[in-house]
Amino acid sequence: MKGKEITIEIVPGAWVSRPREAQKTGTWRTLRPVVDESKCIACGICESFCPEVSIKVVEGTAEVNYDYCKGCGVCANECPKKAISMIPEVESTGGE
């Protein structure tokens, strides 16, 4: 069996992994999360629960890295302020 290399950054009280090129989502995602910045309180719960490490709190609001987001909706389900909505991928790309 071939070994798999992952990168983990040690942060006191937490861990951070960095996605690799091979983990990019591609074109198969059907839903994508959209953050309402007026509702986001930057609590970091979405970041903590994201299984793909594709959402981060940056400068007071959650930001999604759509290259790696799979559209699972965990972030939207866990957000205590309901600041994240899942919208159809077609709607977010203008139907292209």
- Whether residue 13 is contained in a domain is answered as no
d(CA 88, CA 81): 21
- Whether residue 75 is contained in a domain is answered as yes
Q: Which residues of 7-83 form beta strands (DSSP E)?
A: 8-11, 14-17, 31-35, 55-58, 61-64
Instruction: Encode pLDDT of 48-86 as tens digits.
Output: 999 988 999 999 999 999 999 999 999 999 999 999 999
CA–CA–CA angle 57, 31, 40 (5° rounding): 30
Domain hosting residue 69, numbered range: 25-92
Task: Identify the residue whose tokens are 């009280």.
Answer: 13
Three-state secondary-structure class, residue 96: coil
- Whether residue 49 is contained in a domain is answered as yes
For residue 94, is pLDDT > 60? Answer: no
CATH of residue 75's domain is: 3.30.70.20
d(CA 19, CA 33): 18
What total of structural domains would you count in the chain? 1
Instruction: Encode pLDDT of 7-32 as tens digits.
Output: 656 555 555 556 667 678 878 899 99
d(CA 87, CA 2): 38
